[in-house]
A and B are shown apart, each in its own frame.
Chain A
Amino acid sequence: MLPDSRDARIADLILTAPRLAYGMIIGVQRAPYTIDIPIQFSSSTVNAPPVVQSFQNNVSLDTLIERVTYNIDQPNTFPGSPFRSLYFNQMKQSGATGIGIQMDVYGSPRYSVNLTWTDLGNLFDVLAITWPNGLPLPKQSNVKLSAILLQTPISVPVNVLVTFCGWQCVDSSLDGLSDDDARERLRKLGFTVPDPKVLLRSS
């Protein structure tokens, strides 16, 4: 393991997103990238058919999601009360929002982050634990959030805005690389890069 935290990070990205790791190493210009998924519950039905929303467009470049934030608004809850903001603040602090989320990533590969409903306040800890160096979304990926109410909200509608914060390498030459190309170039640079071909029978 490389000692520096940045190097450790790159070593991890080499495994999960070789193109992004290669871009970081050779110093391709990066640009911040945020994507929103708005969710709105129009009724207070608990355990109803889920409200489903995705990124409006697939991500067009390889994207590394570093953090996911969210905010919740219930415009009809305690309107005019000076403690209104305290209510929302405490709800977010507690991590118990009463909103269950199931997250699927579409594209290639395609997978589910969780198979059952996880509270919105806790779900994105998964990203911090399982992808400590960022959630890589290959280009043409999309994220689908299915949301249900696990608890009766104080009022409806409930507006939720989930924001995925990340970055992309903005260079067309990197965009044209395949994962195998990136692995090969990383090997030339002296990194240890496992080769998935040993697992598979090439067709």
Chain B
Amino acid sequence: MIKESQLLSLQRTRDGVAQELRTPFRGGRYEIVTAGPNPELSFIGSDPYGTNVGTGLVVPATPSAAIGGARYLMLLARASFNASEAGVRLVGMRMYAEIIARVPIGDTGQTTVYRREIESPIWHPPDGDISWHVMVINKVQRDTRNPANADGFIYQDALSPALLYQTTGPYVPPNGGRPWGTPLAASLGNMHDLRYRTRFDQSERQLDIIVPAGCDIGLFVSVRQNDPTTNPSASGLTANQFAALSREDQFLTAFNAYAQYGVIFGALAFSENIEYGTTRDRNFGGGAPEGVFAGGSEPVSDMQVPAPEPTPEIGVPPPAPVPPPTEVPAPAPTSKRAA
């Protein structure tokens, strides 16, 4: 009985058509980051393709309190895996949120934009908050066509980053404001803090969650946009009190008339080494995932070939044994600042 996997593995044998070839099935590690339209970039453009795209999605300025308490439901990142794509792992994620102040310039109708990254994981303005949801979505094909669709604003569900809506004017989120799908893992289904930081340099090594094959993985965010009129003012604070505030609170109180949630982005990192190992590992290491080596005569690893005995050279003494390395004491820590 011939296994089709044997036919496939023929491709990766020595001189096979796919020897050492990187293919989409060996995707390695990659990260999906939110990108969407940002009106701030409309005039200046954001890339050589002439678009107004920026990292993240802009939370609409209309406070949730003004639209019946509706929370904005956004899809930040989405990846799709086929039923045959077993072995994919969610290995990391990142979260970013900021507060923004759009301060009008006199009567010109223009605004100056100031922004502050939210660094404290559980900080939120008095009238707003964010929840994050990593969801497993069945492979369904939802018809998202709608005349009201616009850039980054899509009916019910989207395949790429977008603010999702059920109805517009006033905004109503789809699915009662709840993200589609079921939680990937209990701790990732409903997060209320920025626990996976944007600037963490090991973000792609934080998690190791096996993705169930044949599904989409989506990172949703549900935002209650705050009403700036509920922001506390800095005018009631002494200088010492203001100095004692967190940076986010300083921004919020300093720009209390305008401070709102601005851009939010999230990222999912996946590791997709489905056909793990190199051709050399597979052919010579004996650990080919498909089992035995499939084609032709089985090559012998260089490592398995017994090394020839060194022929003694007459008159030349054998080299002296190398002494073990001397333990070098670590240098005493010195303050660079003191120098």
Residues of chain A in range 130-156 having any CB-CB distance to chain B below 8 Å = 142, 144, 151-152, 155-156
In the complex, the answer to whether B24 meets A115 with C-beta atoms within 8 Å is: yes
Tell me if A76 counts as interface (CB < 8 A to partner B).
yes
In the complex, the answer to whether B151 meets A203 with C-beta atoms within 8 Å is: no
Q: Which one, A38, A53, A73, contacts B80 given CB within 8 A?
A: A53
Q: Which of A3-11, A13-21, A192-200 contacts B (4 or more CB under 8 A)?
A: A192-200
Q: Which one, B1, B139, B141, contacts A202 given CB within 8 A?
A: B1
Task: List chain A residues, Cβ under 8 A from B23.
Answer: 112, 115
| Residue of chain A at shortest CB distance from B275 | A110
| Residue of chain A at shortest CB distance from B51 | A44
Residues of chain A in range 24-49 having any CB-CB distance to chain B below 8 Å = 36, 38-49
Task: List chain A residues, Cβ under 8 A from B209.
Answer: none
Contact A109 B7, CB 8 Å, known A40-B144, A54-B82, A56-B140: yes
**Inter-chain contact total with CB atoms closer than 8 Å:** 141
In the complex, the answer to whether B35 meets A48 with C-beta atoms within 8 Å is: yes
Tell me if A201 counts as interface (CB < 8 A to partner B).
yes
| Residue of chain B at shortest CB distance from A140 | B83
Contact A196 B7, CB 8 Å, known A40-B158, A41-B160, A142-B82: yes
Residues of chain B in range 140-175 having any CB-CB distance to chain A below 8 Å = 140-141, 143-145, 147, 149-154, 158-162
How big is the B interface, by class? Answer: 35 or more
CA distance A75 to B147 in the complex (A): 7
CA distance A115 to B17 in the complex (A): 14
Q: Which one, A39, A41, A45, A142, contacts B84 given CB within 8 A?
A: A142
In the complex, the answer to whether B10 meets A46 with C-beta atoms within 8 Å is: no
Q: Which one, A39, A75, A110, contacts B159 given CB within 8 A?
A: A39
CA distance A101 to B83 in the complex (A): 20
Interface of B is mostly: loop
CA distance A74 to B286 in the complex (A): 53
In the complex, the answer to whether B4 meets A109 with C-beta atoms within 8 Å is: yes
In the complex, the answer to whether B154 meets A45 with C-beta atoms within 8 Å is: no
Task: List chain B residues, Cβ under 8 A from A156.
Answer: 150-152
Contact A44 B53, CB 8 Å, known A52-B79, A156-B150: yes
Number of A positions contacting B (CB below 8 A): 47
Task: List chain B residues, Cβ under 8 A from A199.
Answer: 7, 10, 295
Contact A45 B145, CB 8 Å, known A52-B159, A203-B3: no
CA distance A76 to B25 in the complex (A): 36
In the complex, the answer to whether B25 meets A42 with C-beta atoms within 8 Å is: no
In the complex, the answer to whether A42 meets B295 with C-beta atoms within 8 Å is: no
What 4 pairs across the A-B complex have the smallest Cβ distances? A52-B80, A42-B162, A46-B49, A106-B84
A residues near B (Cβ < 8 Å) are 36, 38-49, 51-54, 56, 58, 73, 75-76, 102, 104, 106-110, 112, 115, 142, 144, 151-152, 155-157, 159, 180, 196-197, 199-203
Q: List 22 A-B contacts (CB under 8 A).
A: A41-B159, A42-B149, A42-B154, A42-B159, A45-B35, A47-B49, A49-B160, A51-B159, A52-B159, A52-B216, A75-B147, A106-B84, A109-B8, A110-B84, A112-B23, A156-B152, A157-B144, A157-B149, A159-B145, A200-B10, A203-B1, A203-B291
With A45-B53, A56-B139, A155-B151 known, 8 other A-B pairs at CB within 8 A are A42-B162, A44-B51, A51-B159, A53-B141, A106-B83, A106-B84, A200-B2, A202-B2
